[in-house]
Structure formats: C-alpha cells, structure tokens
A = this chain, B = another copy of it.
C-alpha cells in the first residue's frame, strides 16, 4: 500500500454565489488532481458560502444549492476527475426537511456519502441552532483502502459526538471542514485542539478553513495538518488562496512534513484581517473604490492606509473638510497621507455650509459641534452618490464603546467601518506596525508620523482634546476590555485596583452608548469578543453596574 496524497483547498467563497462557488470547487479540484492528489477537501459550506443565516430557510435557495452539487458531480466527471474524491461543505436537509450543515463526498459522479454536522454552535457569532438540525450519524469513507473520517468545525470543539465515536473506528485520517472566523490568538487554540483530537482518533488530522470577509466576519484560512502524535506536518498561510498538499504515508510508514510556514505576528494577522474584511466587503458587494473623510488624525489615516492596501491607493478618495476650528497641521497631515498612499485628495471646507445652517438654527455647544460633524457626513454621502465610491467610516472601538462620536458624522456613516473592533491603542499599534513594514520593505511609510504622535482631537471647538472628555486611552482601553470583553462587573474592576472615578465614568459612558453602537456599519471582528455580532444587548435597559 502506497501513500495517499490529499489536498486542502483553502478558498474564499461568497455567500449566495452558488454558481461561482461551484466553479471555484471545479477549478481547484482540477489543480489538486494535476498535483497528484487523490482526495481534495474544501471548507464548510463552500457551495453556499458561510454563514448563510436565514437564507438556509428559503426553499428556493435549498433547491439551488442541491442542484449545484448534483451538477458539480457531473462536471467533475466531464473534466476527467471522476476518480478524484472531492469532499466539500454545502446545505443539506434531514428526513424531516430541516436544513442541515453537510459534508458531501463525491466519487465518480456520485454522491457516495453525506455527513451532517452534529455540534451546532449557538454562541458568540454563531446561530446554527436557529437554522440547522443536528446530524446523528458519523461518516467514514474509504479511498484506496484507507479509512477517512469526516467531521465539520464545531464537531472538534466539543467533547463527545462524532470524534469520540471515531476513536475506535480505526481510521487512517480525520478530515475537518471549517468555516472558522478569525480571532486574535485563535490559531494557537485551534492547533492545540487539533492535536488533542488527532491523539483521540490516533490518526493525522487535516484542518481546512475558508478565508475571506463576509460582512463583519473574517475567515483567516490557516489550514494545517498534524500527525497522530501531534507533530506539525504542513500548513497554509493566512488570508490567501492556498492548495496544501500532503501525503498520508502507507500504513506503518512515518509521515513526512511538506510545507511548514511560521504564523505571522499578531499585529500582522489583525492588519491582514482588517484589509481582507474591507476588500471582500467591497468586492463581494460590487464596489471598486471608497471615499472617506481625512482629518489628519490617526483613525482616518490608518483607515485610508488599510483601504489603499485593500483596493489600491488610486481607488481611495480622501476628503479633507476643514472647519474654522481645524488646524493647519491637520490639513497638512491629511494632504501628506493622501500623497503617501496615492489617494485622490480633495478639500471641501465646511464653514459656509455650517454658516448656512446656523443662520436658520443658531446652535451652540454640543449641538453646534455635532452640526459640523454631520455636514461632513452629508458631503461624503453626496460624493458617494455622485461617483459611486462606497463611504467607509473611520470610527474606532474605544469611541464607539463610550459614545464619544457624533452619530451620522463622517466617522460613523457608510457601508463599512474597518476599525470598528479595534480599540484606540490598537489603532496606534497597527499604524506603527504598518509603517515599520514599509520601512523594512524600503517603501514609503503610508501614515504621517505626525498623525501617530500628536494628541487626538475632534477639533469641533477651539483647543478640544479627547483627553478632556475621556480617561487616557491606555487606561480607558484596559477598563473597556475588562468591562465589555470579559463582562467584569464594577466590583471586580475596583478589586483589581482601577480608580473608582475612572471606572464609574467609563461604565456610565458604555451603559448609555448601546444605541450608538447599533447604528454603526459592520466592521471586521478581530478580537475574541467584539461589538457587532458577538454581544447581543438590549438597547433599552436600565441595568447599571451600581444597582448591585
């Protein structure tokens, strides 16, 4: 008995693009066969894209997915690939007609096996018990005399179930199809888990994950293979197409490493996730360019740099919209940024527009500040309407969490908010990381040093500084992380030694900002627990930590 070459096809499907996704499977199957693979494995739900949410409940969608799978089996035979075993994820249905999250195995034009995911995640960003019925049977297929188990994503995250059932099934390989969203640090968690499961079934484990952006989720790829003893056999890079080949050795023979790549740093992974999230939101929705307000500050500078990395600087329109309170250095820094990234730079002063409103409304104080901010929002939406660029919002997580933002301003309007799940200190870190990468590559640093170094200000009144209204960002972000991400209460925060006044300030801001958060466009989820989808909190709530 000789070795069996398997291929993990790390691809980027699009939700709802059933024909396009099937074509992707067909093309990659050919590549895999040409590279000598006997088995090619695609990610969870590759035919429909993932997550499809309530599209799963639509009968016409169910039928379209099933027809695509049947046609694909025929097409593979027509391509001379009947002999290749293709394992892919798609939408199925159980005997009662309830949707299931399936793996389908195609061999010689037939669907020779079908597996329905047992463990349906229903926490964090996942809602699978809402739409899918769980499977109950395990799945072991045979290729060239080798026994191969097939499971899907959450099945390896829960003890028991189909993996435990395979411990005594004498399998030679375990395939895991995944739609596993990126979270910072998740790569290590996944690989530790995979090693445990490989030991449990006493066989190598091949983990194939999709990559790409889908609304506020980003899938990172990072497919890999570990041996039964946990040894690292092969892996794919993150955030890129990849076809990972590895040979399952003949029975009794020792496995050999094929491709092994180091994980990128956390900053690089997060940056890649944000670029991927924005690029796919644009591409998958048919946009080729973006427009944003550039203030000379760090948030818009990093957002513009990310946009330039996503779709090219020539497809970024940066609009400086100075008011009477804007400083010259702000305009200079905005112009410098645009030049560095090759953006289309424009200046639209707002003074006469604000004056027109003021002649009718005579606003003062915060109302006047917000008016300036919203006039900028109108300008961006107008340019978007006229020229077809999508507006992107540079608001960051710290200001979203605390409500330190004007709703419907240039920081919050638009289709996508790349920094939505990055706190302010992380924004600075990523800006420094991006510039350092440019230096290392001998390229122009995209972000002006001034934008990184100067104290942040909304410049909506003379001499206004963020730190007049908020605790220092380093402290603020630490309290936010504990209160929002880790659900620590006031008592726990005080016990940890945070200053009571700071804690009460931050908690009261967060408790009142829920409505603003709901009005933000989606942004890529990059931390373990982000706003957006992970937390579901009532907008109307009188719960305050002090109640206790």
Residues of A within 8 A of B (CB): 14-20, 49, 51-55, 57-61, 63-64, 67, 122-123, 127, 129-130, 213-215, 280-281, 284-285, 348-349, 352-353, 355-357, 359-361, 363-364, 366-367, 370-371, 374-375, 377-379, 381-383, 385-386, 407-408, 413, 415, 487, 489-492, 515, 518-519, 521-522, 535-545, 547-548
Contacts and interface: CB of A to CB of B under 8 A. Distances in A.
A52 B519 CA distance: 20
Given A18-B547, A352-B356, 17 more contacts: A15-B543, A16-B541, A18-B543, A52-B538, A53-B538, A54-B537, A60-B491, A60-B548, A61-B489, A64-B548, A129-B129, A214-B540, A285-B540, A360-B379, A363-B382, A371-B385, A374-B378
B377 A408 contact: yes
A399 B386 CA distance: 22
Q: Is the interface of A mostly helix, strand, loop or mixed?
A: helix
Contacts of A359: 352
A289 to B, nearest CB: 16
A487 B518 CA distance: 26
Contact of A55 (B55, B491, B543): B543
Given A357-B379, A360-B348, A415-B515, A215 B408 contact: no
Which has the most chain B C-beta neighbours within 10 Å: A491, A519, A540? A540
A450 to B, nearest CB: 27
B360 A59 contact: no
B129 A67 contact: no
A15 B540 contact: yes
A17 B415 CA distance: 35
A487 B538 contact: no
Given A381-B374, A386-B367, A489-B59, A15 B538 contact: yes
Nearest to A61: B543
A408 B415 contact: no
Contacts of A19: 547
A387 to B, nearest CB: 9
A469 to B, nearest CB: 16
24 contacts: A14-B540, A14-B541, A16-B542, A16-B547, A17-B543, A51-B538, A52-B538, A57-B487, A58-B487, A58-B489, A59-B489, A63-B489, A67-B548, A127-B536, A129-B129, A130-B536, A285-B539, A352-B359, A353-B360, A363-B386, A366-B385, A371-B382, A378-B378, A519-B519
Contacts of A67: 548
Contacts of A61: 489, 543
B367 A538 contact: no
Contacts of A541: 14-16, 49, 52, 55
Contact of A408 (B14, B381, B539, B540): B381
- How many of these chains are in the complex? 2
Nearest to A68: B547
Contacts of A522: 518, 539
A371 B352 CA distance: 16
Contacts of A20: 542
A61 to B, nearest CB: 6
A489 B522 CA distance: 28
A214 B538 contact: yes
Contacts of A364: 386
A258 B407 CA distance: 52
A360 B16 CA distance: 41
Nearest to A67: B548
A215 B538 contact: yes
Contact of A542 (B17, B53, B408): B17
A127 B53 CA distance: 14
Contact of A371 (B213, B378, B521, B535): B378
A363 B380 CA distance: 12
Which has the most chain B C-beta neighbours within 10 Å: A58, A492, A542? A542
Contacts of A213: 540
Nearest to A390: B515
A164 to B, nearest CB: 20
Contacts of A361: 348, 379, 382-383, 386
A379 B547 CA distance: 37
A445 B58 CA distance: 43
A490 B59 CA distance: 11
Contacts of A55: 537-538, 541, 543
Nearest to A48: B543
A538 B52 CA distance: 6
Given A489-B59, A540-B15, A547-B18, A381 B386 contact: no
Contacts of A379: 357, 360-361
Nearest to A59: B489
A535 B57 CA distance: 10
A252 to B, nearest CB: 44
B542 A14 contact: yes
A60 B490 contact: yes
Contacts of A377: 374, 408
Contacts of A16: 538, 541-544, 547
